[in-house]
């Protein structure tokens, strides 16, 4: 009997250890919730004061406090660390809110984040200032960018689309009100189209008009045709489409003038024209020319894009441009256009100059990070916001079929924009499986 129980216990323990090992590798969220979080929480609680002390994140207490400690509590006066205001476990890590004592600033904590990460044995520690005097330490228990899963609560709303996951486990959202125009750069096969695919998946569910310009003959965007209000797959079509969009922008400005307002968001909802997002998959195909005769078309395209980039925000027209490079080598007007594109996303690049094209003028510290994105992590990128901050993100792997299905399911959201009607892509009616050849082999009739 005793042998049996021993045997059962041993196999149970082995199975448990094996299960945990498997969970650690294959289901890190589960492992984190069952094992990682309790261990890290305990380690954090027990070693908080000493860790803060050795990391130089303590200050001498105020005179009154020191006096009270010495004379009332009759204890030795010790330096004080930031007060813990809240500790919260998430499916990817721990969030700790700290109240900074006088004498410490968020940069002091940011500077030690690498030391804190090692002290508490977590994958990463990111520090963000939540309000003056408070910082949040966002720890992740495992590499959340290895296999990206978006937080369940991340849903597209207003003009905000969650597109990727940040290193700290939070969703990174593309906010069209905050950054109306954006540029996405990256080398071949770095994940630009995947980024745009995720963006289209989110935008398709919102009441916006989607306009595609995909001069690689539409190989990427044709699949999303049911939800597109317009699609241009050649530079000639793109030039005409941009002219129509510029005309639409001018009409919308007339509308604003009639109502005496300066942007569409101030109009009453019933009068407000629907926002338009123009997605350009490879900008070089539009701007680079091979012969002199295309020069006039290039001029029209660049002028149209610059005019839209400069003014269209107020009338709810947004540009989302992808490219491998975006510098003066694209010719006249390229850098001027780039300067108007506030949002910047830089995927893996082959040279530092490309990273600089995207990030040097908005978040110079992040150039080195973008240059180090490894090849085996496609979809990883550095995003900069106009305030000089930046984050490392990775898009979830999403198939074209999945996004095409979302586009089909939301085809009824294609708004009524008569000006774009001539560019509306052809959508074949739902294919009904045709009666194929019979699988029953005819048998010769023999007598
Ligand atoms: N987030 C991701 N996770 C996993 N795989 C990804 C991710 N993003 C992209 N990939 C893979 O990387 C490859 C290249 O992606 P994508 O086509 O988006 O690159 P690209 O930058 O648009 O390339 P190109 O410049 O050739 O158009 C694809 O096979 C895709 O499946
Ligand atoms: Mg691509």
Q: Are residues 108 and 215 in the same domain?
A: no
Q: Which tens digits make up the pLDDT trace of 78-121?
A: 888 999 999 999 999 999 999 999 989 999 999 999 999 999 99
pLDDT reported for residue 386: 60
* Closest alpha carbon to 144 in 72, 213, 93: 93
192 annotated among ligand-binding-site residues: yes
pLDDT reported for residue 111: 93
pLDDT reported for residue 233: 94
Q: Are residues 52 and 189 in the same domain?
A: no
Q: What is the CATH number of the domain that holds 333?
A: 3.40.50.300
Q: Are residues 175 and 47 in the same domain?
A: no
pLDDT reported for residue 74: 75
pLDDT reported for residue 294: 85
* Closest alpha carbon to 141 in 62, 243, 239, 30: 30
Whether 440 has a pLDDT exceeding 80, the answer reads no
CB 117 within 8 A of CB 88: no
Whether 9 has a pLDDT exceeding 80, the answer reads no
Which band of pLDDT confidence, cut at 50, 70 and 90, is reported for residue 330? confident
pLDDT > 70 fraction of the chain, expressed in percent and rounded: 90
Whether 11 has a pLDDT exceeding 90, the answer reads no
Q: 318 - beta bridge partners?
A: 277
The residue whose CA is least distant from atom 9 of ligand 1 is: 191
Q: Are residues 121 and 176 in the same domain?
A: no
In a domain, 146, yes or no: no
Whether 189 has a pLDDT exceeding 80, the answer reads yes
> CB within 6 Å of ligand 1 — which residues?
186, 188-194, 324, 378-379, 394-395, 397
Q: Which tens digits make up the pLDDT trace of 379-418?
A: 999 998 766 689 999 999 999 999 999 999 999 999 999 9
Ligand 1 pocket, mutate which of 162, 374, 379, 395 (most atoms under 8 A from CB): 379
| Residue count (the chain) | 447
193 annotated among ligand-binding-site residues: yes
- According to DSSP, residue 157 is labeled B
Average pLDDT over every residue of 232-247 = 95
Average pLDDT score, the chain: 88
Q: 320 - beta bridge partners?
A: 182, 279
CA 137 – ligand 1 centroid, Å: 32
In a domain, 122, yes or no: yes
Q: Which residues surround ligand 2, an ion (CB under 5 A)?
A: 192-193
Q: Are residues 330 and 358 in the same domain?
A: yes
Please list, in sequence order, all residues whose beta carbon lies within 8 angstroms of the beta carbon of residue 215, skipping any fewer than 6 positions away: 232, 233, 234, 235, 238, 281, 282, 285, 286
Ordered alpha helix ranges (H), 346-433: 352-359, 367-371, 400-409
In a domain, 148, yes or no: no
CA 191 – ligand 2 centroid, Å: 7
The residue whose CA is least distant from atom 4 of ligand 1 is: 397
The residue whose CA is least distant from atom 1 of ligand 1 is: 379
Ligand 1 pocket, mutate which of 166, 191, 403 (most atoms under 8 A from CB): 191
pLDDT reported for residue 62: 77
The residue whose CA is least distant from atom 31 of ligand 1 is: 397
190 annotated among ligand-binding-site residues: yes
Q: Are residues 247 and 119 in the same domain?
A: no
Query: What is the spatial order of strands in the sheet that 83-89 belongs to?
Result: 83-89, 93-99, 134-140, 124-131
Q: Are residues 108 and 192 in the same domain?
A: no
Which band of pLDDT confidence, cut at 50, 70 and 90, is reported for residue 6? low
Q: Are residues 116 and 219 in the same domain?
A: no
CA 279 – ligand 1 centroid, Å: 17
191 annotated among ligand-binding-site residues: yes
CB 271 within 8 A of CB 259: yes
Q: How many domains does the chain have?
A: 2
Query: Which ligand 1 atom is at minimum distance from the Cα of 186?
Result: 21
Q: Which tens digits make up the pLDDT trace of 110-166?
A: 999 999 999 999 999 999 999 999 999 999 999 999 999 999 889 999 999 999 999
Strand-pair category, 380-384 with 390-394: antiparallel
In a domain, 441, yes or no: no
pLDDT reported for residue 436: 47
CA 228 – ligand 1 centroid, Å: 22
Q: Is the dihedral of CA 355, 357, 363, 365 positive or negative?
A: positive
Average pLDDT over every residue of 211-215 = 94
* Three-class DSSP category at 54: helix
* Closest alpha carbon to 165 in 143, 182, 180: 143
Q: Are residues 58 and 134 in the same domain?
A: yes
pLDDT > 90 fraction of the chain, expressed in percent and rounded: 68
Q: Are residues 260 and 381 in the same domain?
A: yes
In a domain, 376, yes or no: yes
Domain of 119, in residue numbers: 18-140
Ligand number with the minimum distance to the CA of 400: 1
The residue whose CA is least distant from atom 29 of ligand 1 is: 189
pLDDT reported for residue 99: 96
- Residue 261 or residue 27, greater confidence: 261
CA 187 – ligand 2 centroid, Å: 9
In a domain, 200, yes or no: yes
Residue 247: count other Cβ atoms within 10 Å of its Cβ: 11
Query: Which ligand 1 atom is at minimum distance from the Cα of 347?
Result: 21
Average pLDDT over every residue of 266-291 = 91
CA 436 – ligand 1 centroid, Å: 36
Q: Are residues 186 and 116 in the same domain?
A: no
Whether 229 has a pLDDT exceeding 50, the answer reads yes
Q: Are residues 239 and 290 in the same domain?
A: yes
Which band of pLDDT confidence, cut at 50, 70 and 90, is reported for residue 77? confident
Which band of pLDDT confidence, cut at 50, 70 and 90, is reported for residue 212? very high
In a domain, 352, yes or no: yes
CA 28 – ligand 1 centroid, Å: 24
Average pLDDT over every residue of 254-267 = 93
In a domain, 236, yes or no: yes
Which band of pLDDT confidence, cut at 50, 70 and 90, is reported for residue 433? very low
Whether 22 has a pLDDT exceeding 60, the answer reads yes
Q: What is the CATH number of the domain that holds 32?
A: 3.30.980
């Amino acid at each position: 009997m005793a042998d049996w129980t021993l045997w059962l216990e041993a196999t149970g323990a082995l199975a448990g250890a094996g299960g945990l090992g498997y969970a650690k590798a294959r289901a890190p969220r589960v492992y984190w919730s069952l094992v990682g979080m309790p261990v890290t929480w305990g380690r954090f609680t027990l070693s908080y004061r000493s860790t803060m002390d050795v990391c130089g994140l303590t200050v001498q207490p105020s005179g009154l406090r020191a006096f009270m400690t010495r004379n009332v509590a009759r204890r030795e006066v010790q330096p004080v660390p930031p007060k813990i205001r809240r500790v919260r476990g998430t499916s990817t890590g721990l969030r700790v809110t700290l109240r900074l004592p006088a004498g410490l600033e968020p940069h002091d904590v940011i500077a030690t984040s690498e030391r804190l990460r090692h002290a508490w044995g977590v994958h990463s520690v990111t520090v963000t200032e939540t309000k003056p005097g408070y910082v949040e330490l966002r720890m992740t228990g495992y590499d959340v960018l290895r296999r990206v899963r978006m937080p369940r609560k991340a849903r597209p709303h207003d003009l905000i689309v969650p597109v990727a996951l940040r290193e700290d486990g939070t969703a990174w959202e593309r906010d069209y009100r905050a950054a109306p125009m954006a540029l996405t750069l990256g080398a071949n096969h770095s994940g630009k189209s995947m980024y745009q695919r995720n963006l289209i998946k989110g935008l398709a569910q919102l009441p916006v008009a989607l306009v595609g310009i995909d001069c690689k003959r539409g190989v990427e965007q044709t699949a999303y045709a049911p939800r597109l209000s317009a699609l241009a797959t050649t530079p000639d079509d793109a030039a005409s489409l941009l002219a129509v969009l510029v005309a639409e922008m001018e009409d919308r400005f007339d509308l604003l003038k009639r109502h005496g307002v300066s942007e569409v968001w101030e109009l009453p909802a019933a009068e407000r024209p629907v926002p338009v997002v123009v997605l350009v998959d490879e900008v070089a195909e539009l701007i680079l020319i091979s012969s002199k005769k295309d020069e006039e078309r290039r001029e029209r395209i660049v002028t149209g894009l610059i005019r839209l980039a400069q003014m269209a925000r107020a009338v709810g027209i947004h540009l989302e441009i992808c490219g491998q490079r975006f510098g003066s080598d694209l010719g006249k007007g390229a850098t001027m256009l780039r300067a108007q594109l506030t949002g910047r996303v830089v995927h893996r690049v082959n040279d530092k100059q490309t990273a600089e094209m995207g990030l040097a003028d908005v978040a110079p510290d992040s150039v080195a990070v973008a240059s180090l994105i490894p090849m085996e992590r496609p979809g990883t990128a550095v995003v900069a916001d106009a305030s000089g901050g930046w984050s490392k993100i990775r898009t979830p792997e999403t198939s074209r079929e999945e996004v095409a299905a979302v586009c089909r399911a939301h085809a009824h959201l294609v708004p009524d924009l008569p000006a774009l009607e001539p560019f509306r892509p052809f959508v074949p009616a739902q294919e009904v499986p045709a009666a194929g050849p019979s699988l029953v082999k005819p048998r010769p009739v023999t007598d």
